[in-house]
Amino acid sequence: MPPRRKPQVEPRKTPRQARSRDTVEVICTAAARVLDEGGLVAVTTNRVAERAGVSIGSLYEYFPNRDALLIALTRRMIAEDGARVRAALLACSDAPPQEVVRGLVRAVLALHRENPARRRALLEVYLSRGLNDEEMLFTSDLIDWVRGNEAAVPLVTHLTPTAWYALTRTVLGGVRLAFWERNPLLHEEIFEDELVTLVLSFLAARR
């Protein structure tokens, strides 16, 4: 029996013109709304096309199947995550170290507190398609950005790449574990306080 082919998860093409980008935006927005209202089982290409007000042919012009559409939604979510964390860091870059750390921790927690059902559903699909390494690019991209913007975020300029790796994986790992466990601590201020203390202690030990 021949091996089953993996479903194609890449878009058929990248929209380059404004009209094409608008169409993809409408499709993705519709898919997110269908997902929020009915869960993964409700997300079908026909239903999304109907909700978006486009033909099924227009949807398939960009997304070959349901998986490709869901993966595109997840990649957009991860990109937005990175943008929000970077914005949070820049917003408090001139503040005292404690406030910079709290701003970062609070931003990461906010990502996992808002619409957890959508995030969990998208990540489940994403990870089940073997894209674990790609999902972790969020962390490495953030590290690269901070190290390239040391003037704006001076708090961590003294950290080695190994120390950065250990710190970010510890904080993000703790938040993600609480998220997947549906632990109520994720929404408690005391959890934020403990994460801030952990980061500050780590930084202080390396000065």
Q: Is 8 a member of any domain?
A: no
Task: Inform me whether the pLDDT recorded for 111 exceeds 90.
Answer: yes
The answer to whether the beta carbons of residues 109 and 186 sit under 8 Å apart is yes
What is the model's pLDDT at position 5? 44
Task: Inform me whether the pLDDT recorded for 173 exceeds 70.
Answer: yes
Q: Is 36 a member of any domain?
A: yes
Show Cβ contacts of residue 3 under 8 Å, excluding neighbours closer than 6 positions: none
49-68 burial code (b ≥16 CB/10 A, e <16): bebbebeeebbebbbbebbb
Number of structural domains (the chain) is 1
CB-count burial class (<10 Å; 0-12, 13-18, 19+) for 18? exposed
Q: Which of 94 and 65 is assigned the larger pLDDT?
A: 65
Q: Provide the token pair at 132.
A: 């674990």
> Mean pLDDT across the stretch 13-40?
86
**Per-residue pLDDT band at 29 (split at 50, 70, 90):** very high
Residue 113: give its domain's CATH number.
1.10.357.10
Task: Inform me whether the pLDDT recorded for 136 exceeds 80.
Answer: no
> pLDDT digits over 33-75, tens only?
999 999 999 999 999 999 999 999 999 999 999 999 999 999 8
The residue range of the domain holding 138 is: 18-204
Q: Is 9 a member of any domain?
A: no
